[in-house]
């Protein structure tokens, strides 16, 4: 009898211990799950400098990430940095992202993407506003990037922009090209501009500015020699559009540009995309990577070269004395900026 009581007590104790042990395992599992769900993602965003095009992309990235459930200060930390046009500063920012344990790096503009590419060996990189990611040696191809990197391209529709330029000012015989020779995207665009102009019998005159302090002199040189001037989505020129607009408007020379934001800042006209869309798609890619849906290497580069609009600055048109044709004004794809 005493033996039976002891066996019963032993069995009850074992069962109780087993129950407690089981509860302990379950709680630990839930803790792991909660930890994963409440992870604070670290997203580093770097742009080469402050100007409207890049700020539009940056803001669209942050807003779209919030819509997708990645809200700064809630379940993620979005570290926004700009480098004042200095490559060494970009490098320092990228090093900081790495030291801080960033889960993904967003690199806005070609210079930032080129410098961020080596970091993709450890951290996924998503670039934005890179005109020619293959030519800039950032990816192997648009379809298959060949590394832990992807992004969005704002490749310019050069022929469409220059066709539009001739629609607005048919008598263009000499076209100025204003750019920074240190920006690969601007150099690659120059080749296309020259090919187009050679076929049309238009002379191309170049003027370079390696920083914003040199823009006024370069712009004045072209204003004195050319019927019209074109600048691609060049960060140096975009950062000094106020100066460029003043020079061109005084000379009554139309300034055609590569980005809608440059039209907002005083450029005469362009044909292109809405840069907010570029930022949104960049954020979509970041979200796919953070959620584990796809690796960066599995996401093709998105080139925005369709569904383009005509952008015209009305105030600039009035300042340089160009009347906008009725068929352009009435085109549903024309956006007039007051």
Residues 308 and 271 sit within 8 Å (Cβ to Cβ)? yes
pLDDT at 17 over 70: no
Domain co-membership, 142 together with 287? yes
Domain total in the chain = 2
Is 10 part of a structural domain of the chain? no
Q: Can you give the pLDDT at residue 305?
A: 84
**Each residue's pLDDT tens digit, 302-328:** 999 888 999 999 999 999 999 999 999
State whether 171 and 45 are in the same domain.
Answer: no
Residues 171 and 66 in one domain: no
pLDDT single digits (tens) 163-199: 999 999 999 999 999 999 999 889 999 999 999 999 9
Asked if residue 218 and residue 327 are part of one domain, the reply reads yes
Strand order in the sheet with 149-153: 76-82, 41-47, 104-108, 125-128, 149-153, 302-303
- pLDDT tens digits, 103-139: 999 999 999 999 999 999 999 999 999 999 999 999 9
Same domain, 189 and 312: yes
So what's the pLDDT on residue 177? Answer: 98
Question: How confident is the model over 251-304, as pLDDT tens digits?
Answer: 999 999 999 999 999 999 999 998 999 999 999 999 999 999 999 999 999 999
Same domain, 227 and 331: yes
Range of the domain at 166: 158-272+308-337
pLDDT above 80 (res 52): yes
Instruction: Report the SS3 class of residue 116.
Output: helix
Same domain (yes/no): 90, 139: yes
CATH number of the domain enclosing 282? 3.40.50.2300
- Same domain flag for 219 and 258: yes
252 phi/psi in degrees, rounded to 5: 60, 45
Residue 5 maps to a domain: no
pTM of the model: 0.80
Q: What string of H, E and C letters represents the secondary structure of 3-42?
A: HHHHHHHHHHHHHHHHHHHHHHHHHHHHHHHHHHHCCCEE
167 and 259 share one domain = yes
Instruction: Answer yes or no: is 2 within a domain.
Output: no
Residue 75 domain-assigned (yes or no): yes
Distance CA 162, CA 267 (A): 14
Q: Copy the structure tokens of residue 185.
A: 């995207």
Same domain for 146 and 170: no
Angle at 36 between CA 35 and CA 39, to 5 degrees: 80
> Are 327 and 215 members of one domain?
yes
Q: pLDDT-based confidence at 6, cuts 50/70/90?
A: very low
* Domain assignment of residue 109, yes or no: yes
The DSSP line for 148-207 is SEEEEE----HHHHHHHHHHH-TT--EEEEEE-TT-HHHHHHHHHHHHHHHHHT-EEEEE
Pairing of strands 269-272, 309-313: antiparallel
pLDDT at position 37 is 53
pLDDT above 90: percentage of residues in the chain: 84
- 291 and 329 fall within a common domain: no
Q: Considering the domain boundaries, does residue 16 fall inside one?
A: no
Note whether residue 312 is domain-resident: yes
203 found inside a domain:
yes
Per-residue pLDDT, averaged over 8-24, amounts to 39
**What pLDDT is stored for residue 38 in this prediction?**
64
């Amino acid at each position: 009898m005493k033996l039976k009581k002891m066996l019963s007590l032993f069995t009850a104790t074992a069962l109780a211990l087993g129950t407690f042990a089981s509860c302990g395992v379950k709680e630990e599992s839930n803790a792991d799950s909660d930890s994963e769900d409440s992870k604070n993602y670290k997203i580093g965003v770097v742009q080469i400098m402050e100007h409207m095009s890049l700020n539009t992309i940056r803001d669209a990235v942050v807003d779209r990430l919030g819509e997708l459930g990645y809200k700064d200060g809630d379940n993620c930390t979005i570290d926004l940095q700009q480098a004042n046009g200095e490559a060494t500063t970009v490098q320092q920012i990228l090093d900081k992202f790495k030291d801080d344990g960033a889960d993904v790096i967003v690199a806005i503009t070609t210079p930032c993407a080129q410098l961020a590419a080596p970091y993709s060996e450890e951290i996924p990189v998503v670039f934005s506003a890179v005109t020619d990611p293959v030519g800039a040696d950032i990816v192997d191809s648009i379809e298959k990037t060949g590394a832990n990197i992807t992004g969005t391209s704002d490749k310019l529709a050069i022929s469409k922009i220059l066709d539009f330029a001739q629609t607005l000012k048919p008598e263009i015989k000499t076209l100025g090209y204003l750019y920074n020779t240190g920006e690969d995207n601007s150099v690659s665009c120059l080749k296309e501009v020259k090919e187009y102009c050679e076929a049309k019998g238009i002379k191309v005159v170049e003027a370079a500015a390696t920083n914003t302090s040199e823009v006024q002199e370069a712009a004045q040189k072209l204003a004195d020699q050319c019927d019209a001037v074109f600048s691609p989505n060049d960060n140096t020129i975009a950062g000094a559009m106020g100066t460029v607009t003043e020079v061109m408007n005084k000379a009554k020379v139309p300034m055609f540009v590569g980005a809608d934001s440059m039209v907002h800042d005083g450029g005469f006209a362009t044909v292109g995309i809405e840069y907010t869309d570029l930022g949104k798609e960049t954020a979509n890619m970041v979200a796919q990577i953070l959620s584990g849906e796809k690796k960066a290497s599995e996401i093709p580069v998105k080139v925005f070269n369709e569904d383009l609009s005509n952008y015209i600055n009305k105030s600039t048109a009035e300042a340089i004395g160009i009347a906008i044709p009725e068929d352009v004004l009435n085109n549903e794809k024309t956006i007039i900026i007051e």
